[in-house]
Structure 1
Amino acid sequence: MHETHRPGIVPPPTFSTLPATWHSENGTPPPRRLIAADDTLRAEAAYRLACEGTALLWQGDYPGALRLLQAMRRRAERRRSRSRSAPDSPAEAFRQHRLERARLARVLGMLLVPLASDHRVRLDRAPDVRAACLAAYGPLLDNRIVSLRELLGVIGAHEWRTRGVEVPALGARIHPHYGVFSPVRNEYVDLVARAPLPAAASDSPTAEDLGTGTGVLAAVLARRGLHRVLVTDADPRALVCARDNAHRLGLADRIEAAGTRLYPPGDGRSALVVCNPPWLPGRPASALDRGVFDQDSGMLHGFLDGLARRLLPGGEGWLVLSDLAEHLGLRSRAKLLAAVARAGLHVTGRLDTVPRHPRATVTGAVDLLHAARAAEVTSLWRLSPA
């Protein structure tokens, strides 16, 4: 344990002596060194300790913890701007971006707060976060120690879930649950809303939505007249979220959860199979990262390789995919088309759209990936057996 006593630091606890257990939704292991800190700890000292790998268990009030976290973030941003070098390629820019994000998460994740088994933050002047923590963590059997950064994510996710995300293609709101990727980029949903349905849908209005997330694409398909939409997702929380949204939209009789494997069990066939896999090859570092990074492009290839045998005659598979990975040098268009051909498929059409989110449209953005984001095109690839 870190035995050094400094001004603003009270005697050091350990996880073995605390009446609480470590909790991390991302599976982050407990810090090796832990000290208790209060409002008299200066931000510079806190930041230095966090960089050294020492966690700070906050003993002051909740607003003080928020101020310290912001002060630590400012110091991390200043250090990043001083040490950043100009990348020599888009791929290097992406690598540098991910390293910076990982380091920031690691350092800021060192500020910890106590959470009681009834989901109350055990600090003076703390807000009531019981509903948010119950939704994210479920019932707790004991007191926990959590990262303040993670707790803020839990609170923010609950606000998204309560308020919902407006989806113009539905004329309604989708309510994302904690850990489920939110459909804030409506342009890809619009592609699914306007692509012509395959001929097979006239006789057999059935579809599958693989990796459904919030269920937004399944809802669009159901609203377009598909009578039965099977949805799958590797995360059971996403299936719960999709069912919840189906009920909210009055579509529960059309949308059916079909398990955590990529394709529904059995050898049934559908008129339409839709897949919007994570757009970037890479290893996810958090629950939300799984909505962005597809390790070894496993989901993309799984969808392509299994598609032909899942389609009815006249049916189609719709691959919704951004070309951001191509602009970053992570995957080429030639490799994508080769994977399509190897799966015994051919492209029967493609619809394109450009992103509307601020990071792609604001000029002069201070962002290593701005050039790639500005050039990004999202496509709906219409695929049929060759």
Structure 2
Amino acid sequence: MFNSPAGATLEPAATPPHPVIHWLEAGEDCSARWRSERGSLPPKKVVLADDTMTADNAYRLACEGTYMLWRGDFHNARQLLQALARRIENTPARKRKKAAQVVPANDVFNRYRLAQSQRARLLNTLLVPFDADYTVPLRRAPDVKQACTAVWGAPGDAATPSVASLRELLGITSSAEWRRVGVEIPELGEGPNNRIFPHYGVFSPVRGEYIKLVASAHVPKHVAGQDALVAFDIGTGTGVLAAVLAQRGVTKVIATDLEPRALVCARENLLQLGLEHKVELVQANLFPEGRAAIVVCNPPWLPARPSTPIEYAVYDEGSRMLMGFLKGLPDHLTPKGEGWLILSNLAEHLGLRIRDELLAAFEANGLRVVSRIDAKPLHAKLGDESDPLHEARTKEVTSLWRLAVIKATQ
């Protein structure tokens, strides 16, 4: 099933086109392609594990940095992963007491991010094998070939066996279910054709307050002398905001994103909504060429470093996307046009940004605030008092800032 060297060669082996994981099995050195959406390097310490592995031993190995390649029943592997998660969450009393102390909000956030990172590192140590066609060669394993193909691409003739973390596989299969069922978006109308179908690695529009803000904000009148109202959707993701703008009567929407997966996702969503003729998709870092009467941007809300592909929709290190949008906005607005910036104030309640900094950034880039529309978020975490960020979340407000150029030079 996995390749083992038949013997020494006289020629040095060519560098593989992808990362490779190595382990010892039945006295032989084995290897396979290493898959990691996080971009992590192949583990150096790998042992075989099966149904005889206890949760305590697995937790000890994970803490030591040893990865476990599963050879037992697939359902038992899932149960072991859940047991590992419980051990991670059962914080010793001494650590709980320390965590209960009053600390600055930004320290709370930093501790939260560190805990999340450590949790992910430990849970990712449980690995599962894949045959060349993405079959998982384990007892009672589900058929994941279609889900894996959607993320990794068709296996192809040169496909080889591979290994990935069980946690990553579960994320892929969960994403496949989201892609099948979709997310209902009331702002897209009533009936069955009001759903957005997120792809793996593309942020799901489960928080609806920012969609409601775009659906209710005042649309500027057509610019004098122009027959069409053009809008830009910067960082379109699933394409949900572009679809809302198109349904609100915007003549043409140009939606941009840097990630190919997002553009594929947006294209499929616009097709199933029947809006592909109103929205043009462009791969770009922020702005397309030209100007628009409305330029919408929903950047990541927290200025922190992302550690996984999906976190790029949540964390914006150094506020680079936010500041890039503000800097380029005046050059991409038509006269009397507006930039619609959608931003949560969660970063302010976490001590990661202050409101004066945001207002100063507006002014520094020649922008003024026309108005601001606020909405309180409604999501499951608001009721979770065990969430370390619970206090900040209860104060969170999502805003749509309507921005205009202070002195138009167009």
Same fold (TM over 0.5): yes
Contact 1:201 / 1:226 at 8 angstroms: preserved in 2? no
Please tell me whether Structure 1 or Structure 2 has the larger radius of gyration of its CA atoms. 2
Distance 1:274 1:169 in 2: 16
- Of stretches 72-81 and 364-373 in structure 1, the one that deviates more from structure 2 is 72-81
Q: Which residue of 2 aligns with 1:275?
A: 297
Q: Which residue of 1 aligns with 2:108?
A: 93
Distance 1:330 1:82 in 2: 28
Distance 2:125 2:66 in 1: 7
Q: Which residue of 2 aligns with 1:68?
A: 80
Contact 2:207 / 2:377 at 8 angstroms: preserved in 1? yes
Letter aligned with residue 61 of structure 2? L
Q: Which residue of 1 aligns with 2:45?
A: 33
Q: Which residue of 1 aligns with 2:9?
A: none
Q: Which residue of 2 aligns with 1:324?
A: 346
Q: Which residue of 2 aligns with 1:354?
A: 376
Distance 2:91 2:149 in 1: 36
Q: 1:375 Cα deviation (Å)?
A: 0.3
Distance 1:257 1:385 in 2: 26
Q: Is residue 2:155 matched to residue 1:155?
A: no
Q: Which residue of 2 aligns with 1:311?
A: 333
Q: Which residue of 2 aligns with 1:380?
A: 400
Q: 1:81 Cα deviation (Å)?
A: 6.7
Contact 1:198 / 1:315 at 8 angstroms: preserved in 2? yes
Letter aligned with residue 312 of structure 1? T
Letter aligned with residue 311 of structure 1? L
RMSD: 1.6
Contact 2:151 / 2:200 at 8 angstroms: preserved in 1? yes
Aligned residues: 371
Inter-CA distance 243–81: structure 2 relative to 1 (3 Å threshold): farther
Q: 1:199 Cα deviation (Å)?
A: 2.5
Q: Which residue of 1 aligns with 2:188?
A: 170
Q: Is residue 2:312 matched to residue 1:290?
A: yes
Letter aligned with residue 332 of structure 2? R
Q: Which residue of 2 aligns with 1:124?
A: 139
Letter aligned with residue 206 of structure 1? V
Three-state SS of the structure 1 residue aligned to 2:29 is: coil
- 1:202-351 matched pairs, under 5 angstroms: 203=226, 204-264=228-288, 266=289, 268-351=290-373
Distance 2:322 2:307 in 1: 19
Contact 2:197 / 2:269 at 8 angstroms: preserved in 1? yes
Contact 1:54 / 1:110 at 8 angstroms: preserved in 2? yes
Unaligned runs of 5+ in 2: 1-22
Question: After superposition, what is the alpha-carbon deviation per residue over 1:89-130, rounded to whole angstroms, capped at 9, x for unaligned?
Answer: 111110111011100000000000001221111111101111
Q: 1:80 Cα deviation (Å)?
A: 6.5
TM-score relative to the length of structure 2: 0.88
Three-state SS of the structure 2 residue aligned to 1:229 is: strand
Contact 1:199 / 1:315 at 8 angstroms: preserved in 2? no
Letter aligned with residue 278 of structure 1? P
Q: Which residue of 1 aligns with 2:218?
A: 196
Contact 1:209 / 1:231 at 8 angstroms: preserved in 2? yes
Q: Which residue of 1 aligns with 2:127?
A: 112
Letter aligned with residue 176 of structure 1? P
Q: 1:12 Cα deviation (Å)?
A: 4.0
Three-state SS of the structure 1 residue aligned to 2:174 is: helix
Distance 1:165 1:63 in 2: 28
Unaligned runs of 5+ in 1: 1-10
Q: 1:143 Cα deviation (Å)?
A: 1.1
